[in-house]
Structure 1
Amino acid sequence: MPLPFSGFTSSNKLFYILVGIIVFVFFATIIWILAGVQSRPEKSALEFWGVFDENKSLSKAIDKFESQHSGVRITYKEFSYEDYERNLIDALAAGTGPDIFMIHNTWLAKHRNKLESQPQPTSKNEEGFINIVDFKNQFVDVAFTDLVFQDKIYAMPIYLDTLALFYNKSLLNSAGITTPPANWEEFNKDVELLTKFDKFGNIIQAGAAMGTARNINRSTDILMLLMLQNGTRMTNVANTNATFARAVNAERVGENALQYYVDFANPLKKVYAWNDSQHYSVDAFVEESLAMMFNYSHQVDILRSKAPRINIGIAPIPQVTSLQASNYANYWAPAVSVAAENKTAAWQFINFLSSREGATLYLSEVLRPSARRDIIDIQRTDPILGPFAVQALSAKSWHQVDSIAIEKIFADMIDDINYGRAKLGDALRNAQEKVNVLMQKQL
């Protein structure tokens, strides 16, 4: 007897078809979800290190950039100035350094091998990178000198500070001085009027903080400014040797600038106004025992907090001639580490931060002068920032292979003269030779 037929009935067929469809849809959905997760780009995390800027100073600009670049997240970390360079070098050497970090405007010669220059913009420039021509047009001249090497952009400025004249209006009023000095001849006369002595010849009110090294904030910057204003050529054209002790057109311009500076600490000179026994310059200004000092814009907030009742005035720094101004630059600028994983995103952020939009967001949180020409036009009428902002247009710097070491060399030079350890010309030549030793190590 043949076996009965055991095939699918129509109801069985329908059941298995439905099960197959459900299984197919289930696995297809799982595969689609997994594929979507895998194809979704991960957020690029950029670590940004800096100095003299709190998180709130950069938060608006960072938030704006992240809103325009959803795949990027930036974390900022502030360091103290004293620890910053050492921590940065150690972290970069260990492979744990930041993607973006602030460099001082004198650091390019010293740390260029640690930096990734900005990629050249493509023809369509979808990345939003700046080119050399626009860099020159948008920023003040000294930024190109400091941050560009062989037409490669290594950093971009978000502000630019210069030395300006801080003066106590009340003390100038009492001395019958109606306006702050515009040139050094006027400065000399005002110093004589403002400096007061007791019956023993001790300075009880200093006309200006000039002449010494250790108790004047940014003393060596002031001396370097005087040298640059006087036409001193700090290095040769190739930046391979220091030349600030050499004569220019048979005139000892470097010596003359140094002589002018130390005269203010010489009791035999008419402009004698300062010595090593004076309180630190910023403290003396707060105590109102100092009438004039030279400093940067960041001192404004410090002075306001320490001495809110002092009638402070700020003016452009005196010049040798009214025909050509020369000022001294000091600033920090963001750069990209050569070890950064996402260099494109890092440079896109720096381009945004230094753009008009990004810089405006940053400068709205800090009291600093801009490095951008279009923002300087806005700041020039500001009673506080105006002098600093306008001076950025004529700011200068010079090639320093190690600014900290050079600062010590210049401070020692001033001390050698004031304490009679060396004659002025010898002290200047000794300093030049020490800087040359540093420069030879970089070759």
Structure 2
Amino acid sequence: MIIIGVPAGLVVLVLALFLVLRGIGSGGKIPQSISLSFWGTYDSSVAFRDAISAYEKTYPNIHIEYRQLLPNEYEDSLIQAFAANSGPDIWMMHNTWLLKHWDKILQLPQTAAKGEKKPLFTYKQFQEQFVDVTDKDLTFNQEIYGLPLYTDNLALFYNKDMFNTAGIANPPRTWDDFNTDVERLTLKDERGNIIRSGAAIGTAQNINRSTDILSMIMIQHGTIMTDDEAKTATFADQVEGVSVGEKSLQYYTDFAQPIKGERYTWNESQHYSIDAFAEGNAAMMFNYSHNISILRGKSGRLNFGVAPAPQPAGASINVSYANYWAATVSKQSQYSYEAWRFLTYLTSNQGAKFYLKATGRPSARRDLLELQQSDPDLGVFANQSLTARSWYQPDSKAVETIFAQAINDVNYGKATPREAIQTAQSKVNVLFAKIR
């Protein structure tokens, strides 16, 4: 703007005085313009668009830039960026990553910042607002290392038409029921070859999230996956005189063993589990909520339902296996307080509503789970979120490989279930030793 007839020096003086007075009127401090970088992988920018927009209207000096990376490149890209001191302020971490990447995280401050009357968030609020599994995964010694936007868990997908034809009125509630239903739903030719599988279970490579299914069965049956301090794997150890980890591995692989007779329902020649279920070649499969839309995209005519994961007979608590991502703040961030402040909004009731509406995922917040429990798609997952479990892992990718190898070794006759689970425990403990 040009002011005719006014000396340039006077213009500068007036402008400076205006800015000073404006600063005094807003508390004596002119807000600094801050840009926060935010990295994720499975979520597109659409997932955060409305929440970011609402937040930036409240804090116009804050700009948040979200970047989506490919899943198979994400973790390595993070590690490389942090090594070069160029990592993001905010990043999404898997619920099993805390032990592996804790040194890259700045905990959420639980004391009031200078000039503030109360802290951003406290451990007590965390426990009150979020489901229990997130406390186990994202906190340690009451320090908060991440905030969850959602949680997901394993449920049973079943083909309603196949159940109806077989005269099975309801999906299995217990593993004993599951065994019976598998036998009734499996179709074989005169040579014993599988024509239709009763369930996608028993192998590693051609079953989506096979090692998660195994972990769920182990935890359900009382396997203690690690010691209390999460420094040592213990899943091969006996619990009250019973080798529950070994028995769980044996149970899982029995479904891929022809010598098991009627229970034999799956092998490595079957199509990938999600495809087999979508094609009508498998009557049941285990998976997470996001597969509802995937299945509908693959086959609009597939008549399927979702039921809670089967439980051991007489179980007092229904347990599923949790798998999700949470948001955290980098130790390298120059604006860690502002980053955590944004995340407390993003995972608040209002911020989470924006995210969940965009993604269709089960909530991590207890107050929003109440709204989802009656949802026809998410109800099962919402209910299971309250009692879902997971376990501390030193390196989730490596653990997945180790568990898959244990499954393969049993199926190929290279090891007994006892030998395979003990070998797996030894390998996982090598990983634990590296991060101590």
TM-score by length of 1: 0.92
Paired residue for 1:297?
Answer: 289
1:29 aligns with 2:11: yes
Q: How does 1:26-425 map to 2 (within 5 A)?
A: 26-34=8-16, 40-122=30-112, 126=117, 129-269=120-260, 270-320=262-312, 321-425=314-418
Runs of 4+ with >6 A deviation: none
Match of 1:427 among 403, 415, 420: 420
In structure 2, distance between residues paired with 1:32 and 1:145 = 57
SS of the equivalent of 2:92 reads strand
Query: Could you tell me how far apart the structure 2 residues matched to 1:98 and 1:382 are?
Result: 35
> 1:431 corresponds to which letter in structure 2?
A
Q: Does the Cα contact within 8 Å between 2:110 and 2:119 map onto a contact in 1?
A: no
> Do the aligned residues in 2 keep the contact of 1:106 with 1:400 (CA within 8 Å)?
yes
Q: CA deviation at 1:42?
A: 3.6
Contact 1:210 1:274 in 2 (8 A): yes
CA contact 1:182–1:317 (8 Å) conserved in 2: yes
SS class of match (1:28): helix
SS at 1:364's partner residue?
helix
- Equivalent position SS for 1:365: helix
Q: Highest Rg: 1 or 2?
A: 1
CA contact (8 A) 1:127 1:348 kept: no
SS in 2 for 1:207: coil
Mark the runs of 5 or more structure 2 residues left unpaired by the alignment. Answer: 24-29
For 1:99 and 1:64, the matched residues in 2 are separated by 19
**Partner secondary structure for residue 228 of structure 1:** helix
The one-letter code of the counterpart of 1:122 is: A
Partner secondary structure for residue 386 of structure 2: helix
Whole-angstrom distance in 1 between the partners of 2:71 and 2:263? 34
- Could you list the per-position Cα deviations for residues 136-195 of structure 1 after superposition, in whole angstroms to 9, with x for gaps in the alignment? 011001111111112111110010000001111111111111111111111111000100
Instruction: Provide Cα deviations, 1:261-298, integer angstroms capped at 9, x if missing partner.
Output: 01100112131100111111011011100110000011
Q: How many residues align?
A: 421
RMSD of equivalent CA atoms? 1.6
**How far, CA to CA, are the matches of 1:219 and 1:44 in structure 2?**
43
**Matched-pair contact (CA < 8 Å) for 2:109–2:121:** no
Counterpart for residue 4 of structure 1: none
| Equivalent position of 2:429 in the other structure | 436
Contact 2:200 2:207 in 1 (8 A): yes
Contact 1:147 1:154 in 2 (8 A): yes
Q: Secondary structure at the match of 2:301?
A: coil
Contact 1:128-1:351 within 8 A present in 2 as well: no
Q: In structure 1, what residue type is equivalent to 2:317?
A: Q
- Separation (CA, whole Å) in 1 of partners of 2:79 and 2:168: 49
State the Cα distance separating 1:303 from its structure 2 match. 0.8
| CA distance in structure 1 between the aligned counterparts of 2:272 and 2:119, rounded to whole angstroms | 47
Q: Give the CA deviation at 1:32.
A: 3.5
Measure, in 1, the Cα distance between the counterparts of 2:291 and 2:165. 24
CA contact (8 A) 2:151 2:323 kept: yes
Structure 2 SS opposite 1:161: coil
Question: Offset of 1:125 from its aligned partner?
Answer: 5.2
Query: What code does the residue aligned with 1:264 have?
Result: F
Partner SS, residue 265 of structure 2: coil
CA displacement 1:88-120 (0-9 Å, x = unmatched): 111111122111000000101000110111111
Q: Whole-Å Cα distance in 2 between the matches of residues 365 and 126 of structure 1?
A: 33
If the length of structure 2 is used for normalisation, what is the TM-score?
0.94
Q: Distance in 1 between matches of 2:293 and 2:119?
A: 35
Deviation at 1:322, TM superposition (A): 4.3
